[in-house]
Amino acid sequence: MTPDLTGKTAIITGASRGIGEATARHFASLGANVALLARNRSALENIAKDIGHRAIALPCDVAQWNDTKLAVAKSKEIFGSIDILVNNAGTIDPIAHIADVNPFEWGQAVDINLKGAFYMLRATAPEMCAQGAGVVINISSGAASSALEGWSHYCATKAALLSLTRTAHKELGPKGINVVGLSPGTVATDMQRSIRSSGLNPVSQLAWESHIPAAWVAQAIAWLTTDDARTFDGTDFSLKTENGRDTVGLPTT
């Protein structure tokens, strides 16, 4: 269940906290070089310093095309290859009804959740195609196929991200690049605090203890880099079922 990522290079977005940070630490423990991308420079640098020589901090706003191009180029320059992309950066804000939501903030969520994932895919795909191999893991959500009050931005962008996963799989799969999504369920991160404080829809009513730890998601992401996971390419693999967790080697209860 535990892959060997020795010599592989992974670019991880949203790496300053939560799922992204947990994934960076887990991947480095498996032997991977990790490029940590996020807007919070100080947090990235502290995490990279803690991980050690296998990690680099690359401040980056994934909603800006030039930022993503430069970050990918720097990763390639330092580590020599780009083998794994984890598109994790995302936002749940602003949680609000359609009739009340700030249009500018709604658009910012699209820029981060959807355009950011596309920009990273667009920047890394040529490098992976040149190598003839690579894995792209898009962090999705059950919101991709559900309608939740106050989450019009999140549901719409995650649905679009799933469609991007399917399209990228169709285009890039024949070139040796595996593209897969991960729907982790609810995770004990700061995002859940924002959801809780909104008071909208049933997710905000969940007890903190019902959320899975970010370390579990990191383990699932690592498993999705293995050959055993290839049957799920072009889809969202779900951790919300006992079967899904068992497949990855996680507790089922």
- Shortest CA distance to 155 belongs to which of 122, 190, 200, 189? 200
The answer to whether residues 99 and 161 touch, using CB atoms and an 8 Å cutoff, is no
Strand order in the sheet with 177-183: 55-59, 33-38, 9-13, 84-87, 134-139, 177-183, 236-238
- Rounded distance, CA 179 to CA 193, Å? 30
47 sits in which H/E element = helix 41-51
* Interior/surface letters 55-66, b for 16+ CB within 10 angstroms, e for the rest: bbbbbbbbbbbe
Catalytic residue status for 119: no
Q: What is the DSSP letter of 87?
A: E
The answer to whether residues 184 and 12 touch, using CB atoms and an 8 Å cutoff, is no
55 sits in which H/E element = strand 55-59
The answer to whether residues 160 and 111 touch, using CB atoms and an 8 Å cutoff, is no
- Rounded distance, CA 105 to CA 174, Å? 38
- Active site residue: 118, 151, 154, 216, which one? 154
- Rounded distance, CA 189 to CA 177, Å? 30
Active-site residue set: 154
